[in-house]
Amino acid sequence: MSNEKYTEEQVKLARYAKALSHPVRVQIMEILASQSCCYSGDIADDLPIARSTLSQHLNELKEAGLIQGEFTPPKIKYCRKKENWDEAKALLSAFFSKE
């Protein structure tokens, strides 16, 4: 995909939407929204998926910039990346408010 045909906002909106396009990732974001941060092991306890699958979903959210991870062996703590979460909300809101 050549980005020169799209605005920066369109590219960002598509990236955030792609990251949120799976119910597990939506559920992860809901878990992180309900608390300041969460360890990946705690998230795994709340979801009926393998830890390796959880890791793939967390990586997708991290690559989109919606979450950030802090590695403190042997655990990884994840939090929402507030500025990008706020940007995603604004972009999605503006997109859905268009007539």
Q: What is the pLDDT of residue 3?
A: 59
Check whether 1 has a pLDDT greater than 80: no
Contact by Cβ (8 Å): 91, 64: no
Sorted by where each begins, the domain ranges of the chain are 8-94
Mean pLDDT of the chain: 92
Q: What is the pLDDT of residue 99?
A: 78
What would the pLDDT profile of 30-61 be if each residue is shown by its tens digit? 999 998 889 988 898 889 899 899 999 999 99
Helix (H, G, I), strand (E, B) or coil at 14: helix
Check whether 2 has a pLDDT greater than 80: no
Architecture of domain 8-94: Orthogonal Bundle (1.10)
Contact residues for 36 (Cβ-Cβ < 8 A; gap 6+): 79
Q: What is the pLDDT of residue 46?
A: 87
